[in-house]
């Protein structure tokens, strides 16, 4: 170990130090001045982003005796996570203040979760991975319960905690089998062991692999391990849902890449079948059940499940194009998800949570601008050009067709048509219906500007996608 | 040269205008000066686009069989997608039709749109740009982007400004066409993986096996058949037409239906000629069913818009019939005639159906009813309007001297060369078309004044008069002197015939 190790892990260490500082500072802040905690948290994020940028490695760097890796993939994902957490904080601020929830805990737990995600993204060993995962998961359980007097929040936190603990157990159990068979916890050593001794690729390893996939599928919320997701999305307060729905998806993608591709890449034939079933079920179940929802958060939850199915199918291909498309899909999806939940928050006000689809009625009268923004986001999620959601679907479909998956490709496009219905319904409510509720939307200028930029990003990325596509290809091919 | 960027200008000028209108927005009052300004701005943008398209017509070289006004810039490197535009004798007339109809639609919506005029006109402007994009895109993915993006403004036009069952109609419209197009996307991606890009010309040149050709043809067929629409996937059209506001119906009938026909010519025939040959019998059968069966269905309609919608389906049957006849005609006897007829029919139907929907719109604005039974004796109170409507009805029935005659006649001649029974069935339209159109005209315009509402009708105002007069003039012009239009297409169609004649197996 030398000082280079600390440079590679500098962003995480900086963030940890800053979190501790903010936490102590928060103790001395009166409730009415809580906004200071918000600005301190935002400053921590900015500093972390700067450190991330400054320590961007030119080559893949493995440090801390092989436990930790710093490579372009982790840099891109971390930067994405930092930006998304910042955006979540900003959207959440006004809502939390209006609903007497403006406590330092939201920001601090959010930052701790971010730390967990960053550790996951840089993990090079199964234990580091698990460490990051649990840091993230514990923060999220607490975040869901942040409004402890709210029965549904408490219930969904409990549900999330119990199911999450079981999934973590499954993951840990799988890790122990993989360790037992290959004799190592580090991804590159596992891969080397499998290459050196193909005889290891047998039932005991597959047994462990199945548990790993259960754990990963749970974290992603993929069918059939999705049951917690709609309940938690609906039960958590909207800013928490926003947090859950965005950055952790990138961490889950990192989990998938690190474990299945870096570590168990030579078992592709075995895990790809499992992933395919999970993915196909997610796309079908997510899209079909979303149609029946009346709660917008729940609907977006099921829509997440469907999108996760697309990401998993991209990974299923096992090709570089497939991995790049998974990364592109995840990055663009979380942008759209952040915008959509941001608008749900925007529609809420003191004592009133806009949770139902019918709350979107007449939005075009109340605020033509944000109705248009929501229209962009919904059409992007539905995969209609010129929005970026179309290109991400196109990329995944072309990766799947490339390995001869014509049937899967047709399934994906037909499922998109089914999915289009519930996105269109949001637009239908916004534009074709009127609402008695004519209340003007309340939001500060900074929220409005960022929310608009966030929504316009799905259009801009759809028209100028070249750089992000090139980045994804480059990062994955490293 | 300025003409190097003419197509981009035609596409983006209305889109930018539409975005500007959206940005300024409505102030909640349709009578305010801001709303008036929005109307004028929309008209200015559409007229400017039309004038620019006249430049396209003047600079167009009829003798050139290839693409003209080509623009080519790399767009998405990862997929090798190019911003690749160009027009030939097939697409240029359709672009002219688009730029010609849109200002008329803006004028037609001048007074009748009371809610959110800025958004209404913005939707039409953006739609216009995207439609021109469809007709000029030479890159498969670019084509698909325009093709799908077009659905968004139309979805809103029907849904926001439509009639009572507008939500049902617009969802049906969107999901039907979306379902049709996603399979085309799969076909595009398949071709992309074969050729390494989305260039339509490399799609046309790459050899494709027979099974793949059949599957690709079917994927394209679903997309285009829904759009045309062909029997039996036509059911969205009557609903969409009935519920759409007048302007939406006009654009839908005059231009968006043509996209289906254009798709067959631009994509299906040259990319999968053997697949097209294999399925040509099916296509002819479906076209003849549309002509005969839908003709009978039109006869029984009680709603004017529905009747015109069904008549559109029947007339579009001629387009698909004309296109797929060519394998049934010996090459030396003028196989191109059916194709030329189909193309002329597309333009002519664009003018006539647009005019018919505008006529219904004129009545609807006054009476708020589309039911034929609510009318009668309109000619007594609105004589000027009645003369226009009779002219358009005659054109719809295919009367010689109007544009409706030219295309149908060419297609019928071509089908005679193919098979007597094709021609026999196709020619029934001359009877059926006359029957349903003229019977409607008789019930609406003639007879005794049916009720007090009809008695109080006011004749056309100057705006309506201008719109209908321009359309009447163009219907007669194409009918009496189709040569400029046919000359524009000829070279391209000859080249297309050669291309389609060569097997790609």
For A202-226, the pLDDT digits (tens) are 888 889 999 999 988 988 888 888 8
CA distances to A133, B284, B409, B428, B429 from B419, rounded to whole Å, are 72, 11, 15, 15, 17
Q: What does the pLDDT average to over A436-450? A: 80
Partner-chain residue, chosen from B76, B151, B183, that has the shortest CB–CB distance to A465: B76
Instruction: State whether B160 and A432 contact (CB < 8 Å).
Output: yes
Using the predicted structure, report yes or no on whether residue A173 has a pLDDT greater than 90: yes
Touching check for B25 and chain A: CB below 8 Å? yes
Using the predicted structure, report yes or no on whether residue B175 has a pLDDT greater than 80: yes
Percent of chain A's residues with pLDDT above 90: 45
Side-chain-facing half-sphere of B111: CA atoms under 13 Å: 10
Banded pLDDT at A279 (limits 50, 70, 90): very high
Q: Which residues of A touch B139 (CB under 8 A)?
A: none
Among B437, B380, B430, residue whose Cα is nearest residue B407:
B430
Q: What does the pLDDT average to over A309-331? A: 92
Q: What does the pLDDT average to over A232-242? A: 90
The sign one gets for the Cα dihedral B234, B236, B240, B243 is positive
Instruction: State whether B167 and A428 contact (CB < 8 Å).
Output: yes
Nearest-CA distance from A469 to chain B in Å? Answer: 7
Lowest-confidence pick of A124-133, A392-401, B227-236, B331-340: B331-340
Nearest-CA distance from A277 to chain B in Å? Answer: 21
Using the predicted structure, report yes or no on whether residue A191 has a pLDDT greater than 60: yes
Touching check for A95 and chain B: CB below 8 Å? no
Nearest CA in chain A to B145: A385
Using the predicted structure, report yes or no on whether residue A1 has a pLDDT greater than 60: no
Q: What is the mean pLDDT of chain B?
A: 87
Q: Take residue B491 and report the two structure tokens written for it.
A: 């070279």
Instruction: State whether B77 and A410 contact (CB < 8 Å).
Output: no
**Angle formed at CA A83 by CA A81 and CA A85, multiple of 5 degrees:** 65
Touching check for A368 and chain B: CB below 8 Å? yes
* Omega before A386 within 30 of 0, i.e. cis: yes
Which pLDDT does position B221 carry in this prediction? 92
Residues 112-131 of B with CB under 8 A from A: 116, 119
Which of B189, B194, B243 should be substituted to probe chain A, the one whose Cβ sees the most A Cβ atoms within 10 Å?
B189
Nearest-CA distance from B167 to chain A in Å? Answer: 7
Lowest-confidence pick of A159-163, B81-85, B104-108, B496-500: B496-500
Using the predicted structure, report yes or no on whether residue A250 has a pLDDT greater than 90: yes
Among A39, A16, A208, residue whose Cα is nearest residue A107:
A39
Which of B78, B165, B198 should be substituted to probe chain A, the one whose Cβ sees the most A Cβ atoms within 10 Å?
B78
Touching check for A459 and chain B: CB below 8 Å? no
Q: What does the pLDDT average to over B240-260? A: 89
Nearest-CA distance from A18 to chain B in Å? Answer: 39
Nearest-CA distance from A187 to chain B in Å? Answer: 30
Q: What is the mean pLDDT of chain A?
A: 89
pTM of the model: 0.92
Our CA dihedral for B153, B156, B158, B161, rounded to 10 degrees, sits at -120
Among B320, B358, B359, B363, residue whose Cα is nearest residue B338:
B320
B436-453 pLDDT tens trace: 888 888 888 887 877 887
Q: What does the pLDDT average to over B46-71? A: 87
Touching check for A401 and chain B: CB below 8 Å? yes
Nearest-CA distance from A398 to chain B in Å? Answer: 6
Which pLDDT does position A241 carry in this prediction? 92
Helix (H) or strand (E) holding A217: helix A203-220
Instruction: State whether B77 and A469 contact (CB < 8 Å).
Output: yes
Q: What does the pLDDT average to over A109-124? A: 93
Which pLDDT does position A385 carry in this prediction? 87
Q: What does the pLDDT average to over B19-40? A: 81
Using the predicted structure, report yes or no on whether residue A410 has a pLDDT greater than 60: yes
Instruction: State whether B77 and A409 contact (CB < 8 Å).
Output: no
- Buried b / exposed e along B110-133 (16+ C-beta atoms within 10 A): beebeebbbbbbbbbbbbbbbbbb
Q: Which residues of B touch A473 (CB under 8 A)?
A: 78
Touching check for A291 and chain B: CB below 8 Å? no
Q: Are B176 and A421 in contact (CB under 8 A)?
A: no
Instruction: State whether A386 and B182 contact (CB < 8 Å).
Output: no
Which pLDDT does position B370 carry in this prediction? 84
Q: Which residues of A touch B75 (CB under 8 A)?
A: 466
Instruction: State whether A469 and B119 contact (CB < 8 Å).
Output: no
Using the predicted structure, report yes or no on whether residue A4 has a pLDDT greater than 80: no
Touching check for B179 and chain A: CB below 8 Å? yes
DSSP state of A70: E
Banded pLDDT at B333 (limits 50, 70, 90): low
Banded pLDDT at B6 (limits 50, 70, 90): confident
Touching check for A384 and chain B: CB below 8 Å? yes
Which pLDDT does position A135 carry in this prediction? 93
Nearest CA in chain A to B192: A398
Q: Which residues of A touch B82 (CB under 8 A)?
A: none
Percent of chain B's residues with pLDDT above 90: 19
Q: What does the pLDDT average to over B67-91? A: 88
How big is the A-B interface in CB pairs under 8 Å?
95
Q: What does the pLDDT average to over A429-453? A: 83
Q: Are A396 and A456 in contact (CB under 8 A)?
A: no
B105-153 pLDDT tens trace: 998 888 887 888 888 899 999 999 999 999 999 999 999 999 999 999 9
For chain B, how long is the longest CA-to-CA vector? 68
Instruction: State whether B155 and A424 contact (CB < 8 Å).
Output: yes
Using the predicted structure, report yes or no on whether residue A320 has a pLDDT greater than 70: yes
Touching check for A153 and chain B: CB below 8 Å? no
Which pLDDT does position A175 carry in this prediction? 92
Helix (H) or strand (E) holding A423: helix A406-432
Burial grade of A299 (CB within 10 A; 0-12, 13-18, 19 or more)? buried
Q: Take residue B301 and report the two structure tokens written for it.
A: 């309609």
Which of B145, B153, B180, B223 should be substituted to probe chain A, the one whose Cβ sees the most A Cβ atoms within 10 Å?
B145
Instruction: State whether B179 and A417 contact (CB < 8 Å).
Output: yes
Residues 68-87 of B with CB under 8 A from A: 75-79
Partner-chain residue, chosen from A409, A417, A421, that has the shortest CB–CB distance to B186: A409
Q: What does the pLDDT average to over B61-74? A: 86
Instruction: State whether B25 and A368 contact (CB < 8 Å).
Output: yes
Which of B16, B21, B186, B223 should be substituted to probe chain A, the one whose Cβ sees the most A Cβ atoms within 10 Å?
B186
Percent of chain A's residues with pLDDT above 70: 100
CA distances to A22, A28, A97, A196 from A34, rounded to whole Å, are 12, 10, 9, 57
Using the predicted structure, report yes or no on whether residue B2 has a pLDDT greater than 70: no
Touching check for A370 and chain B: CB below 8 Å? no
B211-247 pLDDT tens trace: 889 999 999 999 999 988 888 888 888 888 888 888 8
Q: What does the pLDDT average to over B311-331? A: 84
Q: Which is it for strands A68-70 and A61-63: parallel, antiparallel or unpaired?
A: antiparallel
Banded pLDDT at A356 (limits 50, 70, 90): confident
Partner-chain residue, chosen from A385, A398, A473, that has the shortest CB–CB distance to B148: A385
Touching check for A422 and chain B: CB below 8 Å? no
Using the predicted structure, report yes or no on whether residue B504 has a pLDDT greater than 90: no
A53-69 pLDDT tens trace: 888 887 888 888 888 88
Residues ≥6 apart with Cβ < 8 Å to A465: A388, A391, B76
Alpha carbon distance B154, B62 (integer Å): 33
Alpha carbon distance A125, A52 (integer Å): 21
Q: Which residues of A touch B192 (CB under 8 A)?
A: 398
């Amino acid at each position: 170990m030398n000082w280079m190790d600390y440079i590679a892990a500098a962003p995480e260490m900086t963030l940890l130090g800053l979190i501790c500082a903010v936490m102590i500072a928060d103790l001395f802040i009166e409730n009415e001045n809580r906004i200071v905690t918000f600005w301190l948290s935002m400053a921590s994020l900015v500093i972390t982003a700067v450190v991330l940028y400054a320590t961007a490695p030119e080559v893949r760097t493995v440090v801390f005796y092989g436990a930790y890796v710093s490579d372009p993939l982790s840099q891109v994902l971390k930067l994405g996570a930092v930006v998304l957490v910042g955006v979540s904080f900003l959207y959440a601020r006004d809502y939390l203040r209006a609903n007497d929830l403006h406590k330092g805990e939201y920001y601090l737990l959010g930052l701790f979760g971010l730390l967990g995600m960053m550790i996951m993204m840089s993990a090079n060993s199964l234990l580091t991975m698990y460490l990051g995962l649990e840091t993230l998961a514990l923060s999220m359980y607490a975040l869901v319960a942040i409004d402890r007097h709210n029965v549904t929040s408490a219930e969904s936190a409990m549900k999330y905690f119990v199911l999450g603990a079981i999934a973590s157990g499954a993951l840990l159990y799988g890790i122990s089998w993989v360790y037992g068979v290959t004799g190592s916890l580090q991804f590159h050593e596992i891969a080397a062991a499998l290459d050196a001794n193909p005889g290891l690729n047998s039932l005991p390893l597959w047994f462990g692999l199945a548990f790993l996939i259960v754990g990963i599928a749970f974290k992603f919320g993929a069918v059939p391990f999705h049951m917690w997701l709609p309940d938690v999305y609906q039960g958590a307060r909207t800013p928490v849902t926003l947090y859950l729905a965005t950055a952790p998806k990138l961490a889950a993608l990192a989990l998938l890449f690190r474990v299945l591709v870096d570590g168990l890449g030579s078992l592709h034939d075995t895990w790809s079948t499992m992933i395919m079933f999970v993915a196909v079920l997610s796309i079908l179940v997510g899209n079909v059940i979303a149609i029946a929802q009346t709660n917008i958060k729940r609907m977006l939850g099921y829509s997440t499940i469907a999108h996760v199915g697309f990401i998993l199918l991209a990974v299923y291909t096992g090709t570089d194009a497939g991995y790049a498309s998974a990364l592109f899909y995840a990055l663009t999806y979380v942008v759209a998800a952040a915008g959509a939940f941001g608008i749900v928050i925007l529609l809420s006000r003191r004592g009133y949570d806009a949770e139902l689809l019918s709350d979107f009625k007449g939005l075009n009268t109340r605020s033509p601008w944000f109705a248009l923004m929501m229209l962009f986001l919904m059409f992007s999620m539905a995969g209609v050009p010129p929005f970026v959601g179309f290109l991400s679907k196109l990329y995944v479909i072309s990766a799947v067709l490339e390995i001869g998956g014509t049937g899967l490709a047709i399934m994906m496009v037909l499922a998109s048509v089914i999915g289009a219905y519930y996105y269109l319904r949001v637009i239908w409510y916004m534009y074709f219906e009127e609402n008695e509720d004519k209340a003007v939307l309340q939001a500060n200028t900074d929220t409005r500007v960022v929310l608009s930029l966030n929504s316009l990003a799905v259009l801009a990325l759809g028209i100028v996608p070249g750089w992000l596509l090139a980045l994804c290809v480059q990062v994955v091919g490293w | 040269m300025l003409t190097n960027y003419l197509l981009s200008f035609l596409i983006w000028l209305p889109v930018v205008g539409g975005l500007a209108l959206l940005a300024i927005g409505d102030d909640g009052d349709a009578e305010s000066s801001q709303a008036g300004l929005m109307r004028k701005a929309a008209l200015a943008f559409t007229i400017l686009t039309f004038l620019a398209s006249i430049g396209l017509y003047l600079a167009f070289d009829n003798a050139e069989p290839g693409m003209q006004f080509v623009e080519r810039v790399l767009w998405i490197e990862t997929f090798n997608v190019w911003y690749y535009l160009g027009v030939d004798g097939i697409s240029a007339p359709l672009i002219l039709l688009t730029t010609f109809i849109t200002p008329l639609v803006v004028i037609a919506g001048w007074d009748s749109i009371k809610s959110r005029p800025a958004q209404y006109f913005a939707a039409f402007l953006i739609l216009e740009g995207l439609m021109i994009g469809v007709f000029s895109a030479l890159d498969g993915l670019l084509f698909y982007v325009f093709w799908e993006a077009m659905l968004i403004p139309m979805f809103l036009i029907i849904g926001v400004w439509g009639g009572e069952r507008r939500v049902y109609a617009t969802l049906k419209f969107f999901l039907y066409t979306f379902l049709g197009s996603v399979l085309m996307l799969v076909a595009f991606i398949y071709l992309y993986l074969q050729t390494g890009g989305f260039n339509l010309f490399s799609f046309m040149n790459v050899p494709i096996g027979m099974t793949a050709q059949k599957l690709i043809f079917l994927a394209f067929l679903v997309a285009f058949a829904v759009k045309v629409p062909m029997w039996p996937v036509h059911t969205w059209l009557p609903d969409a037409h009935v519920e759409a506001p007048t302007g939406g119906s006009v654009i839908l009938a005059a231009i968006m239906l043509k996209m289906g026909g254009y798709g067959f010519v631009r994509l299906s025939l040259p990319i999968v000629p053997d697949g097209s040959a294999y399925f040509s019998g099916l296509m002819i059968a479906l076209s003849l069913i549309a002509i005969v069966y839908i003709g009978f269905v039109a006869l029984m309609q009680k709603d004017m818009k529905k009747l015109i919608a069904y008549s559109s389906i029947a007339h579009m049957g001629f387009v698909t019939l004309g296109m797929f006849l060519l394998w049934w005609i010996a090459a030396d006897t003028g196989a191109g005639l059916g194709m030329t007829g189909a193309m002329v029919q597309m333009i002519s139907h664009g003018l006539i159906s647009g005019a018919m929907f505008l006529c219904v719109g004129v009545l609807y604005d006054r009476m708020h009813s589309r039911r034929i039974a609510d009318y009668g004796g309109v000619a007594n109170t609105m004589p000027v309007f009645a003369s226009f409507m009779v002219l358009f009805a005659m054109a719809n029935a295919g009367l010689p001297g109007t544009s409706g005659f030219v295309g149908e006649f060419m297609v019928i001649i071509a089908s005679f060369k193919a098979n007597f029974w094709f021609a026999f069935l196709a020619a029934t339209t001359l009877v059926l078309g006359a029957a349903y159109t003229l019977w409607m005209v008789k019930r609406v315009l003639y007879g005794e004044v049916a009720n007090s509402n009809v008695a109080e009708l006011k004749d056309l105002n100057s705006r309506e008069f201008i719109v209908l007069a321009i359309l009447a003039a163009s219907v007669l012009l194409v009918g009496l002197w189709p040569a400029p239009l046919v000359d524009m297409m000829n070279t391209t169609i000859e080249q297309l015939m050669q291309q389609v004649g060569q097997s790609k197996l």
